Structure 1
């Protein structure tokens, strides 16, 4: 443990510090991400001192089980929270072994970060906030680190002061303060903290920047932290403008079903195409791929021959072209959905589709057996009572249903298993027996689908 200065029970917390947490939005609970290091311990005490009488406060410690002092740090966090009467939740995570194989590229750091944020998302409930102790020096290091990685405007905007996280919000109230200020205040307040032994290991890129590069830059440009903060703020503003432009283009290019028209996309410049795709991918919750030549990717998606179905794969998704549209397709699990029964008062969710059954006739009327499943092969569809039936496979092709959806699109069957009738195909078709003002079956099936 690293001690601060002399114990100072009469330490007066600066007004600007208290204001940084008092102006946070109302919340049912304010969580503090507590690592045990200087910054997070300082934030914990700040929140306890300035919000303790007004808000419900809790802390979360994620034990990555990577450092030799991980157990000591966990005990320290428990004792800190006990002394402040703040409830502490501890979650232990296991970082993937493969991430440690290339530590020089930050693999273990990134894997630990992802594990940490997964925990944060899992604990946050609607109306709750999570506070993190990133400060101005962290912001400057982030901007410089991303610059060296070739990030664009969005990356150079640095860490946002607040953003959505899971069902709640993440806030960083200390971004306006420097590391030295926080250390000085911590020593004056007599705080103690735990040093992470990996923080001085220069094989990690961020540590190299912090200990070898930043001091040299600060000696040459003493106002470096403020300058990089201004640059991040300017990039943030540019990012906001780019997002606004992307939304305008999306409104004119999108088909209302989570897809983009190729012909309309071709009317945009390359910069506008890249900006739209960036906004679309990140808005859908995916990491924007680091691609050396986006022009080549977009040319293949937009300009390939009409009979081709080009695809670009990202992390957790792919961009695919089919019949003049670009689709953003989430990666699907290998197993198909399990068949389910549809009954009144028990909606069924199958992927993006939601099915509800409700009575329209005399109360007490019993619905026939209704089953929701996916294609097994050999199904036929009759879209009109007096019309011919045809293979469902052919009908789906005629409806231009993308190939990746055909195996997973939910089918609704009525009747006993040995004598079933197909009455609905996803949100594409629903038999008149179960729709309209007076469904012949006496029951109405409502089909809803969510699009990205």
Structure 2
């Protein structure tokens, strides 16, 4: 614990510090992310002074169980919240890879795992209308920008941490980004704030600590206004990224098909920089992290010009970009399909490979529930799309419907068992036999097929 004299009443908090905390986005409840460190404890004091009368303020502490004083820090956070009359929501998390020594220049390892665990809790607990305040300051922003620069980031990364963004069902807000660590430390000492030091903050095996303790002091001695300069750079990069996103949105409207796919002929009319910008934006639009690609020209050349019998693709985290009939499709990574051929139980929805399948009675059926099995294509299946019309090979019918190959392989087939034989009565949401669809299905039973992403 770091003592700093006698705690102040809060009545003399500087207006410069109060102003950004006073002017927050609309919210129904205010949460303070409380680590126990100097900056978060200071933010808690100021926010409590400004908002305690509303009764709509609380703190949240994440115990990563990584440091020797982790439990002591949690107790300290409980104590300071009791003193201030602020409810505390404390969560213990188990950080994946906590025994690993992979904490160096890769930028991953335990630092990133701890951050992911922390933000996962925040996402889970924030309710609609709630605002989470985080105490990141100008030094944190500068460290983030330099760290990302060293990792080879683009303009979005050099924009650093945004002041606000959606988080779970609520929002995250950082009111202290315009202040340096030195300014906040001065106010904390002046007002007698106590806080806990994280012993890992001096461990230079961690990349950010190395930058904080060894690199930034040297840079600041040469350029005293470094933190504010890097803050301006981050702000300019964020503006540039916003403009690039607006341009990509315009190009998306020019290139997009009815299902969000990109038409290659329209994409090919753009410059290389515009194509790259659009593909990155497209991934973010579907809430994926854009892939880090060293050779964008070759990737785009493969998509635009490789022979029709080739199947070029670009893999990202959680998705694949694939080409099909003159268009690019962003396809989520598929979950493993269930084994066997499950049978639909009346009025019980079955989750199956991203689909929700239900067998429901239509009125008062006169016959028992049919045996409807769910499976994928095995080859040779036939369907009769139009009542009384000719039957067709399912394979050929799916090709006529322009169903991409990766969807054909995972399409749920609904198989009615009659006298021991299986007859196809449905193919995903593309077709269901008249026996089991419509206002008055002939069988008295209706099959409802939905994509779970809907």
- With the length of structure 2 as denominator, give the TM-score of the two structures: 0.88
Give 1:255 deviation, angstroms. 1.8
Aligned to 1:61: 61
Deviations 1:387-431 (A, max 9, x none): 333343443344332232223223344566945543332232233
The secondary structure found in structure 2 opposite 1:320 is: strand
Q: Does the CA-based 8 Å contact 1:370-1:412 persist in structure 2?
A: no
Q: Does the CA-based 8 Å contact 1:312-1:318 persist in structure 2?
A: yes
The secondary structure found in structure 1 opposite 2:323 is: strand
Compute the RMSD of aligned alpha carbons. Answer: 2.9
Distance 1:137 1:372 in 2: 60
Aligned to 2:155: 153
Aligned to 1:424: 426
> Please, which moves more after superposition, 309-318 or 51-60?
51-60
The secondary structure found in structure 1 opposite 2:12 is: coil
Distance 2:129 2:353 in 1: 27
Aligned to 2:397: 395
Give 1:135 deviation, angstroms. 0.9
The alignment status of 1:140 with 2:146, answered yes or no, reads: no
Q: Does the CA-based 8 Å contact 2:374-2:412 persist in structure 1?
A: yes
5+ unaligned residues in a row in structure 2: which ranges?
A: none
Deviations 1:43-73 (A, max 9, x none): 2222222112225223222222222222222
Specify whether residues 22 and 342 from structure 1 end up closer, same or farther in structure 2 by C-alpha distance, changes over 3 A only: farther
> Please, which moves more after superposition, 96-105 or 301-310?
96-105
Aligned to 1:187: 189
Distance 1:354 1:258 in 2: 22
> Please, which moves more after superposition, 363-372 or 155-164?
363-372
The alignment status of 1:111 with 2:113, answered yes or no, reads: yes
Q: Does the CA-based 8 Å contact 1:136-1:175 persist in structure 2?
A: yes
Q: Does the CA-based 8 Å contact 2:371-2:416 persist in structure 1?
A: yes
Distance 2:200 2:299 in 1: 39
5+ unaligned residues in a row in structure 1: which ranges?
A: none
Distance 1:388 1:240 in 2: 54
Specify whether residues 263 and 352 from structure 1 end up closer, same or farther in structure 2 by C-alpha distance, changes over 3 A only: farther
Matches within 5 A, 1:372-411: 373-375=374-376, 377-378=378-379, 379-411=381-413
Give 1:306 deviation, angstroms. 0.8
Give 1:28 deviation, angstroms. 3.3
Q: Does the CA-based 8 Å contact 1:30-1:55 persist in structure 2?
A: no
> Please, which moves more after superposition, 209-218 or 418-427?
418-427
Specify whether residues 28 and 443 from structure 1 end up closer, same or farther in structure 2 by C-alpha distance, changes over 3 A only: farther
The alignment status of 1:93 with 2:106, answered yes or no, reads: no
Q: Does the CA-based 8 Å contact 1:131-1:170 persist in structure 2?
A: yes
Give 1:239 deviation, angstroms. 0.9
**Aligned counterpart for 1:293 among listed residues 288, 292, 295:** 295
Distance 2:113 2:186 in 1: 32
The secondary structure found in structure 1 opposite 2:254 is: helix
The alignment status of 1:28 with 2:28, answered yes or no, reads: yes
Give 1:438 deviation, angstroms. 6.0
Distance 1:226 1:417 in 2: 78
Aligned to 1:269: 271
Specify whether residues 26 and 348 from structure 1 end up closer, same or farther in structure 2 by C-alpha distance, changes over 3 A only: farther
Aligned to 2:214: 212
